[in-house]
Structure 1
Amino acid sequence: MLSLLSSAALPLLRRLDPEAAHTIALKALALGLAPRVARDDPPALAITAFGRAFSNPIGLAAGFDKDAAAGPALLRLGFGFVETGSVTPRPQPGNPTPRLFRLTEDHGVINRMGFNNQGLAVYVRNLARLSDRPIPLGANVGINKDGADPVRDYPAMIEAVRGLVDYAVINVSSPNTPGLRDLQAEAQLRAILQAVAMVAGRLPILVKIAPDLSPDGLASVVETCVEAGVQGLIVGNTTISRPAGLKSPHAAQAGGLSGLPLQTLSTTMLARTFLLARGRLVLIGAGGVFTGRDALTKIQAGASLVQLYSGFAFHGPALIPRLKVELMAALRDAGFATVQDAVGTRAQELTEHA
């Protein structure tokens, strides 16, 4: 059956409002109207991170499938791993529409979705259907806009997803929930992570951080996470900054910017994080990955794994096999036998590209 997310269908989806197109794409995936890719990744792309084996380092970032509704299809598109969410304890509609904007000329996206999702009960029910999964699955958890108690809510969600996923992510960096980024401050983050540690068991816990952190703020987050026993960081979420030269008429919209305009900022932050972490944390690099060479740059900046969102939104499932072929070629051209060999090899250099 022809996939509704095939290359031929993508131009039609792009004519729609971005959120409507996303909803249609997600429903098509949930119905199984997507290609199934053979699981035969080259051994050179395999890597082990936080005790889990990944056949390739390219994953889907949180935000695409907030409710884990399309899990069976997403897990079979050729990704090395898939992260679902962000989910909140209670359902919430998110911010008023319009709240999602394509920056076509800039290969970027601005969103101010506001953690729209159906809540933890629906999310857990959907995760429970994914016990027979071919690749690692992650859960990304956030808090409600109203009535939230982070020290209560984050542990409750981790406890609910434990046993259903291969890792979980504490999201304290979305710019679209008032006050959320304040939770990256040392005292607040430490309290959350100490509470989460009480219920996590053996589930690897990661923290997703903003690319807008100050140098001192980043150093504080790294040390706080290491002290709390966190296994890794995702660097990073969307940015509230706007780099010079954006061409899209939507560039002034409020919200978090992702895609190609985020690439340099997020990669610089990733490299700085790698140097601060000194091997104590596994890093996942996100922000502006559109080619295999982009993926390799993230890996050389210090990422063991990389994530896509905007690239997948722009190019669909056909991007995934192409990225893996390009990443293999980029590794060979750079003289690396495996992904693991390349991790962090340009970190110092890439911190100087701010």
Structure 2
Amino acid sequence: MPDWSYQTLFRPLLFRLSSRLARELTFQAIGGLSRLPGGRLVIRTLGHMEPSPILASRAGSLELYTPVGLSGSLDPEGKAHAAMAQFGFGFIMTGPITPEPLSSSAPILRETDRESLIYPSYTENIGLKEAERLFEHPRHRLPQLARLMPMPGVTGDEALQQLAHMLERLGQAGAAGFCLDVLRSDGNMEEQLDLIRRFPDLVRRLQAQGRLGGQVQPPEGSAGAKEFSAVSLTRGGELREGETASGSCREVLAAGLPPLFLYVPPDAPDPLVSELLAQVQAGGWTGLTVGEGLPEGEGVRIGCEAKIPGLALLRRLRAEAPAELTLQAACGVHEPQDALDLIAAGADQVLLHSGMVYAGPGLPKRVNEAIAYERLRLQPEPAPMPFWRNWGWMWLLGLGMIIGGVLAWFVAITTVLLPYDEAFLGLDRDALHRVNGNLLHFMSHDRVTLAGTMVSIGILYTQLARYGLQEGQHWSRTALGLSAGVGFSSFFLYLGTGYFDPLHALAAAALFPMFLLSMRGIQDRPYRRPVHLYNDRIWRLAMWGQLCFVVLGFALAIGGLTIAGVGVTGVFVPQDLVFMQTTFAELDAVNPRLIPLIAHDRAGFGGALLSNALALVVISLWGLQRGERWQWKTLLFGGAPGFAAGLGIHMGIGYMDFWHLLPALFALALYIAGLILLYPYLMGGRAASTESGAFRTDGLNM
């Protein structure tokens, strides 16, 4: 369920349902897909979130692929954790977790105008026993932090005993770290602070007794003498060469303790914040997690409104807390700019909840891209790739396809047949015309559509090579490799028809080495241009445009497979024979080599159309970025020859059967609508980058 399908199709439908039902259906669907063979591959393919090494982050001793986490209360039963682990998250915060399950039958309210969710009970959760299942059998590799909470109403030693029990059970189940959630505005503040003071000692004692399961080990390279000989911690937990760790974080890491976080409400009053700062300075804590919810009656409101108080709290914590303390923020990330604001205020990691509901499942990827850009823009640009390194060979291959397509188009609208075609048949074009007045028109129709598709492929290849492959974009390499690989493989379809086309074989022999040279020694590079940071109208229109081109790409792929399949089996569809006013048997009786020649043309067109479609699918799924004008021009000029050839030749020869043309007309409508909807996004200016100095880099593993 990428954003282009969520924003356009699924969100309007889901928002007509109750929040609980919508959540259940969504997580059952994507969770069920992840459990199918190849299901997670499908999810990764649609979303294509491969974290760049520059996104690496740390939470104490815990290494994270990305600084973006999933809030546990979004999917409390973990039905879709395996699926969402493919979205670009670096960790999952599971919880709140209490010893016994706490449920509520009251509805979860969705206030769309305020982009918030109101949960009737702050403590609603699945309980310890079910939570253990999520840690023991995660079906994903992301580290999971357990957000622990004693049962409501218990205090003092009883609460500590419950926490100890949960620590032991979840530690043995595989929890990578823990987050203590005990602060309540309606509770006894002294008792809550006492739990906070005693919690790190409790963890140390359980760890010393071997009761946490031993999942968390001292970091690699630890000297075991309560310091690291060659590394130290920055604010984000980054380990830098040539320094030593100090203070409470050094002790926690050297002892091999799991990361310990304290969950703090975003609207925590100043006196409480002062008390908490004193506690973390006393030692034992890895970091603080600024929470996601504001009180709403007996429940909690989770949404955009938590961002403002959360920003103020983060700024104070960053200014007054120990420099090595890791700060996480779960308050109001609904678009990439929200995450950048929280990071600029002091956060090292962010967690997503309501933003996933309102923005869509692509939000983690978009946030990661925004963070990656902010880190990369401070680094020098890499040297450009030389023309002959690889991308130039693909550009030449595309140019060859364009030239070949133009020549094939000229032949198809003039002589139709080449000399070796006539030699194979033993008939010239005049003899074929006497056999059937529409036969040459029909063969011209096949060859013109093939020529137009070849020109389209050539334009896509030259553009992808010049702007994508040259810059080391992984998605561009995938598009070219997949498309060209299928295109060259389709040569064997021709052989299966019984007709060997020497010109096609010669062209393939000349172009194939270029393909191999273009794929050698490619090194992927991260995207270095500004990304779109807002869920604005331009972005929402672009989601509709992207939907159009994704559907168009898959429709053309299905069409290519169908045409190729027909070409090597039945050769004709009924409308073809009606147009020529003949039958398969009559044509075969005229010349037994006529059907193989026509089958060759049809199979060739089907293979070329499939090759073209695969490049379009990858561009549409993975490549579109704000302000990339070349992408819109590529879609425009890459599609125009194919549609001009296909529809133009049908009108030129009078083959105007409505049902035969309907798929092409449907594709044309998607093509035009997609171009119109994507125009503001792709042809407008690039997204504005964060002002210099607004994005805090020292705690983000730069």
TM range (shorter): 0.7 to 0.9
How many Å apart are 1:212 and its aligned residue?
Answer: 2.2
Name the structure 1 match of 2:111.
Answer: 103
1:73 aligns with 2:83: yes
Q: For 1:232-276, what per-residue CA distance to the aligned partner results, in whole angstroms no more than 9, with x for missing partners?
A: 110124122xxxxxxxxxxx7653222111111111111111112
The match for 1:224 among 249, 255, 279 is 279
Name the structure 2 match of 1:18.
Answer: 19
Query: In structure 2, how many angstroms separate the alpha carbons of the residues matched to 1:88 and 1:46?
Result: 31
Query: In structure 1, how many angstroms separate the alpha carbons of the residues matched to 2:268 and 2:191?
Result: 9
RCO (CA 8 Å, sep 6+): is it higher in 1 or 2?
1
Query: In structure 2, how many angstroms separate the alpha carbons of the residues matched to 1:211 and 1:254?
Result: 17
Q: Structure 1 residues 14, 161: closer, same or farther in 2, change over 3 A?
A: same
Query: In structure 1, how many angstroms separate the alpha carbons of the residues matched to 2:192 and 2:324?
Result: 20
**AA paired with 2:178?**
A
Instruction: Trace 1:44-193 onto structure 2 (pairs within 5 A).
Output: 44-94=54-104, 96-98=105-107, 100-130=108-138, 133-145=140-152, 149-163=158-172, 164-173=174-183, 179=187, 182=189, 185-193=192-200
Q: Structure 1 residues 91, 49: closer, same or farther in 2, change over 3 A?
A: closer
**Contact 2:264–2:290 (8 Å) recurs in 1:** yes
**Contact 1:282–1:304 (8 Å) recurs in 2:** yes
How many Å apart are 1:342 and its aligned residue?
Answer: 5.0
Query: In structure 1, how many angstroms separate the alpha carbons of the residues matched to 2:97 and 2:341?
Result: 30
Matched residue of 1:256: which SS?
strand
The match for 1:278 among 315, 318, 322 is 322
**AA paired with 1:301?**
A
Find the structure with the greater CA-based Rg: 2
**Contact 1:46–1:55 (8 Å) recurs in 2:** yes
How many Å apart are 1:74 and its aligned residue?
Answer: 2.3
How many Å apart are 1:335 and its aligned residue?
Answer: 7.7
**Contact 1:174–1:237 (8 Å) recurs in 2:** no
How many Å apart are 1:86 and its aligned residue?
Answer: 1.4
Q: For 1:79-124, what per-residue CA distance to the aligned partner results, in whole angstroms no more than 9, with x for missing partners?
A: 1221112111112224x513x2222111122223343333211211
Name the structure 2 match of 1:9.
Answer: 10
Matched residue of 1:21: which SS?
helix
**AA paired with 1:298?**
L
Q: Which moved more, 1:25-34 or 1:261-270?
A: 25-34
Q: Which runs of 5+ in 2 are unaligned?
A: 35-39, 213-256, 378-688
Q: Which runs of 5+ in 1 are unaligned?
A: 241-251, 345-354
The match for 2:359 among 305, 310, 315 is 315
How many Å apart are 1:296 and its aligned residue?
Answer: 1.4
**AA paired with 1:23?**
E
Instruction: Trace 1:267-346 onto structure 2 (pairs within 5 A).
Output: 267-331=311-375, 332=377, 333-334=689-690, 341=697, 343=699
Matched residue of 1:79: which SS?
coil
How many Å apart are 1:50 and its aligned residue?
Answer: 1.0
Name the structure 1 match of 2:51.
Answer: 41
**Contact 2:49–2:87 (8 Å) recurs in 1:** no
**Contact 1:239–1:262 (8 Å) recurs in 2:** yes
1:236 aligns with 2:291: yes
Matched residue of 1:266: which SS?
helix
1:256 aligns with 2:612: no
Q: Structure 1 residues 184, 320: closer, same or farther in 2, change over 3 A?
A: farther
Q: Which moved more, 1:101-110 or 1:65-74?
A: 65-74
Q: Which has the higher strand share?
A: 1
Query: In structure 2, how many angstroms separate the alpha carbons of the residues matched to 1:162 and 1:39?
Result: 29
How many Å apart are 1:303 and its aligned residue?
Answer: 1.0
The match for 1:194 among 171, 176, 201 is 201
Matched residue of 1:16: which SS?
coil
Matched residue of 1:27: which SS?
helix
Q: For 1:299-333, what per-residue CA distance to the aligned partner results, in whole angstroms no more than 9, with x for missing partners?
A: 11111101111101222312222222333345533
The match for 2:262 among 195, 207, 228 is 207
Q: Percent identity among equivalent residues?
A: 24
Q: Structure 1 residues 2, 207: closer, same or farther in 2, change over 3 A?
A: closer
Query: In structure 2, how many angstroms separate the alpha carbons of the residues matched to 1:93 and 1:269?
Result: 31
TM-score (norm. length: structure 1)? 0.81
Query: In structure 1, how many angstroms separate the alpha carbons of the residues matched to 2:692 and 2:90?
Result: 19
**AA paired with 1:157?**
M
Q: Which has the higher helix share?
A: 2
Query: In structure 2, how many angstroms separate the alpha carbons of the residues matched to 1:212 and 1:262?
Result: 8
Q: Structure 1 residues 194, 228: closer, same or farther in 2, change over 3 A?
A: farther
**Contact 1:30–1:70 (8 Å) recurs in 2:** yes
Query: In structure 2, how many angstroms separate the alpha carbons of the residues matched to 1:183 and 1:68?
Result: 34
**AA paired with 1:92?**
L
How many Å apart are 1:278 and its aligned residue?
Answer: 2.7
Name the structure 1 match of 2:646.
Answer: none
**AA paired with 2:182?**
V
Q: Which moved more, 1:31-40 or 1:108-117?
A: 31-40
How many Å apart are 1:142 and its aligned residue?
Answer: 1.5
**Contact 2:116–2:302 (8 Å) recurs in 1:** yes
Q: Which moved more, 1:310-319 or 1:261-270?
A: 310-319
**Contact 1:110–1:257 (8 Å) recurs in 2:** yes
**AA paired with 2:269?**
S
**AA paired with 1:199?**
L
Name the structure 1 match of 2:28.
Answer: 27
Name the structure 2 match of 1:244.
Answer: none
How many Å apart are 1:146 and its aligned residue?
Answer: 5.5
Q: Structure 1 residues 88, 225: closer, same or farther in 2, change over 3 A?
A: same
How many Å apart are 1:52 and its aligned residue?
Answer: 2.0
Query: In structure 2, how many angstroms separate the alpha carbons of the residues matched to 1:66 and 1:228?
Result: 31
Q: Which moved more, 1:151-160 or 1:200-209?
A: 200-209
Query: In structure 1, how many angstroms separate the alpha carbons of the residues matched to 2:84 and 2:323?
Result: 30
Query: In structure 1, how many angstroms separate the alpha carbons of the residues matched to 2:168 and 2:281?
Result: 21
**AA paired with 2:164?**
P
**Contact 1:67–1:85 (8 Å) recurs in 2:** no
Matched residue of 1:144: which SS?
coil
Q: Which moved more, 1:137-146 or 1:56-65?
A: 137-146
Q: For 1:177-223, what per-residue CA distance to the aligned partner results, in whole angstroms no more than 9, with x for missing partners?
A: x63x7478432421344333322562111111112222221121122
**Contact 2:179–2:262 (8 Å) recurs in 1:** yes
Name the structure 1 match of 2:585.
Answer: none
Query: In structure 2, how many angstroms separate the alpha carbons of the residues matched to 1:313 and 1:325?
Result: 19
TM-score (norm. length: structure 2)? 0.43
**Contact 1:63–1:86 (8 Å) recurs in 2:** yes
